[in-house]
Amino acid sequence: MCLGIPGRIVEITDARRKLATVEVMGVRRQVNVACILKDEPIESLIGTWSLIHVGFAMSRINEEEAALTLDVLRQLGEAQAEIEAMQASETMLAS
């Protein structure tokens, strides 16, 4: 399964190589934006939200869609942490 994480493009780092810095949940990473760049100046991508997967901006999304997706990802993370805590508790009780 592939998972795209919403990120906002905050800076163009290398226009020739189509590289930009995105911020994903407070973390900044360099990604390739070639897949979402249309017939427009690369600088116009600054402020744009995109789904990021393995170092590539795969598709543009709007800010509302980004917020909803990030909320679901946070909930999944909380659910996973709860499942792991339950499994650890079960293991302790069994021993």
Which CATH number do you get for residue 71?
2.30.30.140
Closest CA to 31 of 49, 68, 2, 72: 49
- The domain total for the chain is 1
CA 50/CA 43 separation, integer angstroms = 15
For 58, the token pair is 């795969």
CA 30/CA 23 separation, integer angstroms = 9
Q: Select the more confidently predicted residue: 56 or 88.
A: 56
Distances (CA, A) of 2 to 52, 85, 93: 10, 26, 36
pLDDT (tens digit, 9 = 90+) per residue, 4-44?
Answer: 889 999 999 999 999 999 998 888 999 999 999 999 999 99
